[in-house]
Chain A
Amino acid sequence: MKQLIAFVNKEFRHIFRDSRTLLVIIGIPIVQILLFGFAINMEVQDIRVAFYDPTPDAFTKGITDQIRQNVYFNYQGKVNSMDEMEVAMRKGKLDLAVVFQQDFQESMVHSGKAAVQLLSNSSDPNRGSIAVNYATAIIADYQKEQMNISQIPFQIQTENRMIYNPLMKSSYMFVPGIMGLVMMIICTIMTSVSIVREKERGTMEVLLASPLKHGTMIFAKTIPYMVISFIDFIIIVLLSYFVLDVPVNGSLFLLSLIAIIYIVLSLSYGLTISTLVDKQVNAVIISAITAMLPVLMLSGMIFPIDNMPKILQALSTIVPARWFIDVVRKVMIQGQGFMMVWKETLALIGMILLLLGITIFNTKKRLE
């Protein structure tokens, strides 16, 4: 224990004495979140909306009124055909079209469900997706309200279609994405570099010849980065919530738990890299290529996985950030519970075990 404390102390000193390291671990999350956040998430007011309602009834009128009254929407009127709607959208006069199904009320009463289509003009992807999210929320509220009144279970199915931008980008993708990126950078690169630095400078040999247990040393090395990454996670959540208005709809506890699992995963990966190389430069290069690039390219943070070629989709399944970002989106944005994310969580834990296994195997081999 005493050894551990002495060593953790040392690690924190290494970090706080190196202004560049400090800049990376505190500066990156703040800059990234603000940069991405403000570049993408500008104004989401004045959403121009039109309705196509072939068979008006009490329900469709109710939904129409709810959306019309909402401050974020700017009512443009009703259209009389899908063609008319499409023309208006193509001219850029509409952000969102709400299309009710034929005989909405009848379908609702007889089969307990009815469908409404939300067509968003996603040439401005952020605006399009936010428009859809708002409308979906309003319709969900309306449904709840009606169910309370009528006591009959029914379901309004919303179907979203993004038009004019098949490469859907969403600002809500970015916050989870930045979390995935920042923690990967800090944990993987910093841990691998800090261990490899000891090898390179020769201090590792002295530690090996000391009674300090290998496990204690590794554990002590990872603690500061674990703490710092968690602080970064908190910074990102706070900035997202207060500055970017990204909601935290799900359980904060669950979100933190997932973050910790992902941090441990990134640290494990850093450890794995540190067993493979002897030079700091190589540690940085390998971390950057195998940890950072996949987060940017294959995690769904920037490019949606659904639009990738099959082979890249398959490749993305081994990118931890893909699962992490998925879980964060589900928990943070969609407010889902553990039952909806346990599979992804399990995948992350599986990866941790695999990486730690490889690390231990490599270390044993090296010491023989």
Chain B
Amino acid sequence: MKATGKNKIDAILRACRLIMRLSQGSPNMRQSQTLYYNMLIKYFSRLLQAHENGEFVAAHTVFFPSELIYAMDLVPMHTETTTWMTALFTGECSDILAAGSSLGMASEICTPHRGLAGAFATGALPRPDAMLWSNMVCDNTAKSGELIMELCDCPGFFIDRPFKDSEYEFNYLVGELRDMVQFLEDKSGKKMDWDKLSETVARMDKQIDLIRQVNELRKNVPTPFRPQGFLELLTIDYLFPGQPEAIEYLETLLSELSESVKKGEGAVDSERFRLMTFFIPPMYLMAFMEKISQEYGAVSVIEPFFTFWGEGRLDPSKPLESVAQKSYMIPEMRMFRPLDEPALNSIIDCAQQYKVDGAVFYADVGCRHSCATIKLFKDALNRIDIPMLTVDCDVVDPTITSEEEMREKLERFFELLEER
């Protein structure tokens, strides 16, 4: 297919609409899922039509505080999630990965980033009007933003988030955010709506609280949330921070889960294995992952570094400071900070609270950051006699792990858990 500047977005939209059409009236489709797909359709439709509608597209990497983009009424484009969604909904993204490789990007580079470079280079994604990126969590993003800026010939802004956590560093980060707002105002011609940012921050605070409540319900045996449902929470956080539709989705989900708990209904017919998940399962195998989870009664009940928010509240009266504060609370941030004894103990505590039988670490071969934590987590969980399976895989590249390999590894692990 010839790149049109929109074809990956088109493909995602077609898939979402097809899911909605096929599941209309299906008793298996929860209302929260309908809201979820509608949100995706709205997000990607807006992106697809942004330039025709004269809107300013601000592309940004993962963990970038897109509350600021929403508050300025610009169109956000979450770059990594767009690559994931391509793999999730189209089954593969070998064309954009190959295009990334042909730019000279080594196969060891994180595939969402290699794919992004390929997608922008071939025009498979719309050209952003500005590229925004940061060094929050991931080093790949720090380099990727620069490359996308070069490939798309667009202006860009890099938020330098200090590694340390003192008051001085916090104020420095707030300064960086202020400069970024100035940059966006200059480039887009739009002004920051500080009242809107305050409202967004207030909703983000509520959003975090709702996710905490969802997690509380997941402690129940049987757990009420779908085996891979946490990926929905992740997408909500990444694409809709502090947005009204995110609140609506989470409130609906919470009410559905509460109802299931009241009725004693679990997410799988017969819950056998309660799992703790580290990192992201391959997106191109999601249908299979759901199937094998149902087959074996295996459910992810907690993801300490994806859905387990750090302590703290956001203060709408100090919106910019709150956006900075949020960066200290996001679950992934704790995985990529120094993993000291309290941090490792928090995993143990989490495993006990959620009555975890075993853990699965999806070791993304392109993410050296997360792979460096494997032994630490495994040793920590072994202290309380919880085994951990490590599966070498990739979030989007199907050539690393096939469905058969994934099945074999998971089945071996489920047997191990059963034999105990």
Partners in one complex: no
Chain A residues in the interface with B (C-beta under 8 A): none
Chain B residues in the interface with A (C-beta under 8 A): none
